[in-house]
Amino acid sequence: MSMLQVKDLSIHFGGVKAVQNVSFNIDAGIVYSVIGPNGAGKTTLFNLITGVYKPTTGEIRLDGEAIHGKSPNELATRGVARTFQNLQICMNMTAVENVMVGAHLRLDRNLVKAALRFPGLKRRDAETRAEAAELMCFVGLEKYVEARADAMSYGALKRLEIARALAMKPRLIFLDEPAAGLNPKETIEVDHLVRKIADSGVTVVLVEHDMKMVMNLSDRILVLDYGKKLAEGSGEEVRKNPDVIAAYLGAHA
């Protein structure tokens, strides 16, 4: 059984059919990318699967269990994490504290239990901080552990968001345009980081406009156009698909 199963998913905002009857499956362990022109419904699809929006119709299953309508927090405790297209970093906190927020989101549900089980919250905080610092090393931000978020470059903040999502210890991570606004060198670094995340056993779902990165990383690609599924397949299949060439790649690649 596929890890994630999406069936006939739709959401309408008034008259706008942002996602229309989209179905696809994602197997565990792969990098799955969602591409399409601006406004195609990619971020809306992420918002549906990660619990930000409730679908108008359709179903979403994680390991066979229905998850549509569950909140982002509930999904975080089930191993679903995400980053945002627009940075969602607390600028008045240090970098490592931002990553710790991710761990707290995962633990929140059992906060009372955890507090009783542990001799003191402080010890857990020390552990969480150490784990967060380790994750910052994993994403290549070791020199920023004690830095204030507002002193970091945009490229570093993008990776900080990824570290925060990883602090939720996800099995499935949604990365919304991780390379947007980055220079070519930073883009290659993020490309390597996404590969490293996948190699660590986390299933990755990627929305990205950088076609080189998408083609390089993806095991499978879903193409959306005007909220509908236009094509799905390997990079090679998608690249050769005449509908995709007409709607998207022809204009962009």
Ligand X SMILES: Nc1ncnc2c1ncn2[C@@H]1O[C@H](COP(=O)(O)OP(=O)(O)OP(=O)(O)O)[C@@H](O)[C@H]1O
Binding residues for ligand X, rule: CB under 6 A, are: 13, 16, 18, 36, 38-44
The number of CA neighbours under 13 Å toward the Cβ of 58 is: 22
Q: Which residue has the tokens 């504290």?
A: 97
Cβ–Cβ under 8 Å, residues 68 and 55: yes
Give the shortest CB-181-to-ligand X separation in angstroms.
13
Number of helices (H) and strands (E), helices first, in the chain? Answer: 11, 10
Give the shortest CB-222-to-ligand X separation in angstroms.
12
Sequence-distant (≥ 6) Cβ neighbours of residue 243 within 8 angstroms: 230, 231
The number of CA neighbours under 13 Å toward the Cβ of 45 is: 33
Choice between 34 and 132, CB closer to ligand X: 34
Give the shortest CB-49-to-ligand X separation in angstroms.
12
Choice between 20 and 128, CB closer to ligand X: 20
Choice between 15 and 201, CB closer to ligand X: 15
Choice between 17 and 109, CB closer to ligand X: 17
Choice between 167 and 215, CB closer to ligand X: 215
Measured CA to CA in angstroms, residue 223 lies from 44, 228, 239 at distances of 14, 8, 10
d(CA 46, CA 41): 9
What is the CB neighbour count within 10 angstroms for residue 28? 14
Strand partners, 229: 224
User: What single DSSP character describes residue 119?
Assistant: S
Give the shortest CB-11-to-ligand X separation in angstroms.
8
Give the shortest CB-177-to-ligand X separation in angstroms.
7
Choice between 36 and 102, CB closer to ligand X: 36
